Structure formats: C-alpha cells, structure tokens
Amino acid sequence: MSCCHQEKKGGLFKNLLRRNRGDSEASEKQVSKKKMVLVGTPNVGKSVIFNRLTGVYATVSNYPGTTVEVFRGTCRIGEEVFEVVDTPGMYSFMTITEEERVTRRLLFSEKPDIILHVVDAKNLERMLPMTLQLIEAGLPVMLVVNMMDEAQQIGREIDIAKLEQLLGIPVVGTAAAINKGMDLLKKRVVQYVKKRAA
C-alpha cells in the first residue's frame, strides 16, 4: 500500500528533521543530481533498498504490488547526490497492469544515470530475462541480487563474480532487509556513475 500523500508528507517531515544529515534542499542544489531508478519484479525488496538509501519511508509489505506509484527521494554517497526513484514492480517488459505501465513509461521517458535491477536470489532464473531486456535496451543497468540470506537458507550459492563476467554489467549481492551488502552497493553505484561520466 502506498499512497502519494502518505509518503510524500512523511518524506518531507523526515527531511525537515534530518536536515543536518546532508540531504536537505540547500546542498541538493549545489551538486547536480544523478538519477538512480530501482526496477524489478514485485516483492523483491526495491522499497527496502529505497528506504535504506534515502531514509524516506516507502511502504514495504510482503506481497506483490505494494508500491503502485513512482516514489522519489534523495541519497548522498560521498560526493555524489542521487535522486532515487522507487517504482512499482513489473513482471516483464510486456506490461499488463496499470502500475506496471507506470514503470515502463518512466524507463522509456526519463534518462536515468543508473538503473538498479533488483532481483530475488532464490529466483534468479525467473528474473534474469528482464536484466537481458534492460541490457538490450541500452540502459545503464546494474544488477542487485537481493535476498541472499534467504537463498543461503535454501542451500543456494551464487557466484556473483562469474555472473558479472557473463552479463558484462556490475553485479552486487545484498540482503537489504538485514542491511547486508548495502555499503558495497553504494560503492559500486558511485564507481559506475563516475566511469560512465568519464
């Protein structure tokens, strides 16, 4: 459940409280903001990652279709300031429901500096097709293999380095709900954006 009024007010309120953390309006204007878009299948943890990155609360629930609207926040990593966009989950590029169309339109109309494709480590085989589609589209995509903790519980190991090599894009493993891998994620994001700018 996500409601525009709800989150935006919440975000504003928190931003006011957290001015000193550096994500206030004033410092946003000095540096040109980079755009980071989170996409992926429903219920893989996009909104958890969004919350961890921005400190703005976007609703997280354990069912597909929690986020139905695009949601924006700000995240600062070192020097770089990002506008982070959380999107409704989408099962494939061939969209069916309204909230999926919202996400595809966003991908096709805005120019993100980096797209984080968030996938569930337990269901890699089902989710990689979209990664291939994003690569195919020529979009600046980085793969986030989330829920590594749950994959481990069912006895699944994933060779992240090998995956990175096979896909030819940066890949990071995370367990966002328990805050694992988030630092590495941020580091790789900055590396990627710097390299792209160069």
Partner 1 sequence: MLKSERLEYGAFKYDDRIEKAIKEIESNLKSSYNVSKRTIALLLLQEDSEIQEMVRMRESSFSQISEIVKKTKMLFTEPLYYVITVQRQKKVDEIVSKVVYTRRDSKNRLSNWLDKITVQPLTGIPILLLVLYFGLYKFVGQFGAGTLVDFIEGNIFDTYVNPWVDRMVTTYISSEPIQELLAKEYGIITLGLRYALAIILPIVGTFFLMFSIIEDSGYLPRLALLIDRVFKAIGLNGRAVIPMVLGFGCDTMATLVSRTLETRRERILATLLLSLAIPCSAQLGVVLAMLSGNTAALLIWALCVLLVFLLVGFLAARLLPGERPVFYMEVPPLRLPRLGNIIEKTLSRMQWYFLEIVPIFIIASVLIWIGRMTGIFDAIIRLAEPLMVALGLPPETAEAFLFGFFRRDYGAAGLYDMKGSLTWTQLTVASVTLTLFLPCIAQVSVMLKERGLMTTAAILAFIFPFAFLVGYVLNLILNVTGVVW
Partner 2 sequence: MDGERNLAELKVGDEAVIGRINTTDDKILKKLMALGVLPGMKLVLLQKFPSYVIKVGNTRIAADDSIARSIVVVKK
Ligand X SMILES: Nc1nc2c(ncn2[C@@H]2O[C@H](COP(=O)(O)OP(=O)(O)OP(=O)(O)O)[C@@H](O)[C@H]2O)c(=O)[nH]1
Q: Which residues bind ligand X (CB under 6 A)?
A: 40, 42-48, 60-62, 64-67, 88-89, 146-147, 149-150, 175-177
CA–CA separation, 193 and 198 (whole Å): 9
Structure tokens given for 144: 């986030």
By CB under 8 A, what part of segment 32-91 binds partner 1? 42-43, 57, 59-65, 68-69
By CB under 8 A, what part of segment 138-157 binds partner 1? 138-141, 150, 153-157
Strand order in the sheet with 114-120: 71-77, 80-86, 34-39, 114-120, 141-146, 171-173
CA–CA separation, 118 and 125 (whole Å): 13
Build a one-symbol-per-residue string for 96-125: x at contacts with partner 1 by CB under 8 A, - elsewhere.
Answer: xxxx-x--x--xxxxx------------xx
CB 67 within 8 A of CB 59: yes
CB 137 within 8 A of CB 124: no
Nearest distance, CB of residue 148 and ligand X, angstroms: 7
By CB under 5 A, what part of segment 38-67 binds Mg ion? 46-47, 66-67
Phi, psi of 46 (to 5 degrees): -60, -45
The answer to whether residue 197 forms part of the interface with partner 1 (CB under 8 A) is no
- Select the residue interacting with partner 1 from 6, 18, 31, 187 (CB under 8 A): 6
Q: Are strands 34-39 and 71-77 parallel, antiparallel or unpaired?
A: unpaired
Structure tokens given for 198: 């160069």
CB 11 within 8 A of CB 33: no
Nearest distance, CB of residue 36 and partner 2, angstroms: 25
The answer to whether residue 92 forms part of the interface with partner 2 (CB under 8 A) is yes
Partners of residue 77 on adjacent β-strands:
80
CA–CA separation, 134 and 153 (whole Å): 29
Build a one-symbol-per-residue string for 104-133: x at contacts with partner 2 by CB under 8 A, - elsewhere.
Answer: ------------------xx-xx-------
The answer to whether residue 96 forms part of the interface with partner 2 (CB under 8 A) is yes
The answer to whether residue 98 forms part of the interface with partner 2 (CB under 8 A) is no
Nearest distance, CB of residue 126 and partner 2, angstroms: 4
Q: Are strands 114-120 and 80-86 parallel, antiparallel or unpaired?
A: unpaired
- Select the residue interacting with partner 2 from 35, 57, 65, 91 (CB under 8 A): 91
The answer to whether residue 191 forms part of the interface with partner 1 (CB under 8 A) is no
The answer to whether residue 158 forms part of the interface with partner 2 (CB under 8 A) is no
